[in-house]
Amino acid sequence: MAGLGDPPGGTPEGAPGGGEDEYRSVVFDESFVRAARLEEFSARERLSDHAPAVRRRTPLRRAGLSRQALVLLVLIAVAFGTAIYMGVRHPYQSPAAQRSVEPVRMTVVPLAPQGKVPGADDAAHLYEHSPAADFRSAAKGVPLPVHRSTAHFSDDQVRNALTTAKNYIVRSALDPGVLLGGEVRSVRVLLDPEQLDQFDESLERPAADGRHAPTGWLVRFDPARTELADAEIRVHGSLRAVESDASTLEVSADHTMVYPLRPAGDDRAETSLFTVRRELRFRFDRDDLRLHQTQLVASYVQAGPLDCAEDSADRFRPLLAGRTAGTGAPAGTDPYATDSATALCGTLAASAQPRV
């Protein structure tokens, strides 16, 4: 008796034995049928149209491939758009497109005393009898002013500019390492990179040309001749921030610093006071604000008591207690040399000295 899956007459002669079908391993599932290239017409279609028994299928589109192609096109478009945007607004501009920074304009005016420089055994006594009696000590004398946002800069950005300017003032005029040790890195790191060449050249080749005087950048003394007689340096002054245009903040600083000094290595010598008045103007663009750096635009310095015959461009060499200014005139200046600033010298008023 034939099995359920066998023909009624049994397995035909010559066919594989045991009811094995050589195509039984092929699975004719729905996807296989749908993918077939030929499709048989129905009986109704063959009767009505007298068409061939089969027709060729239209190849089916693969939806998955279409979606992948669409995603690929979108990614290419995004990448292309990003490349164009970064080419226009790239934060790291080429050297040709970088902003230019003005060189610092500086003037250093030595102030000669009218008589002997007053002295005392301690700095406190001198401060008490001088205009610096009410000055505050060191960085406390450089407070941040009340500030607010501007049309194009936030309150935080204005504070950032004022804080960076204060840091420059404190490091360049109140740090003992800078005053006597020749340490300048703490000041240098605050400058815009475009000004570093001018700063370095000023220290390597000092000149009283209005561009390369180290004392226009910072306050420093000759350690072979002078030392601090007391750690307390008195300071008084002000800071003011304004918006100069939509991309620039400017900070004006005006401070007077008073230093107690004595001859180097002589603990028994009398102390005298040395006064420096500095008017500085700083500029900040948005890169400077982000990097906590500044452009020093102008520096106007008055300092004394000094001998006008001494060179004050490199280091200050103060006249100490009991000393008087010499009769020598400043080094000659050629008025026909357009690259050289005119030598300046002033007189230190008696009212600026301690009354002892």
- Separation between Cα atoms, residue 47 and residue 118, nearest integer Å: 131
Torsion from C-alpha of 243, 244, 245, 250, nearest 10 degrees: -70
Question: For the whole model, what pTM was predicted?
Answer: 0.71
Number of neighbouring beta carbons within 10 Å of residue 154: 12
Structure tokens at 165: 């300017």
**Where do runs of H (alpha helix) occur along 205-326?**
214-217, 286-291
56 membership: H or E segment, kind and range? strand 54-56
Bridge partners, residue 263, by sequence: 226
**Which structure tokens are listed for 170?**
């404190």
Residue 93 confidence (pLDDT): 44
pLDDT of residue 311: 86
Helix residue spans in 245-297 (DSSP H): 286-291
Question: How many CB atoms are located within 10 Å of the residue 225 CB?
Answer: 15
Nearby residues of 226 by Cβ (< 8 Å), 6 or more positions away:
180, 261, 262, 263, 264, 316, 317, 318, 320
Q: How would you write the pLDDT of the chain (356 residues) with one tens digit per residue?
A: 445 555 555 555 555 555 455 555 555 556 555 655 555 656 666 666 555 655 565 555 554 557 777 777 888 888 877 777 665 544 444 443 456 788 999 999 999 998 999 999 999 999 999 999 999 999 999 999 999 999 999 999 999 999 999 999 999 999 999 999 889 999 999 999 999 999 999 999 999 999 999 999 999 999 999 999 999 999 999 999 999 999 999 999 999 999 999 999 999 999 999 999 999 999 999 999 999 999 999 999 999 999 988 888 899 999 999 999 886 555 555 555 545 444 578 889 989 999 87
First to last CA, the chain: 141
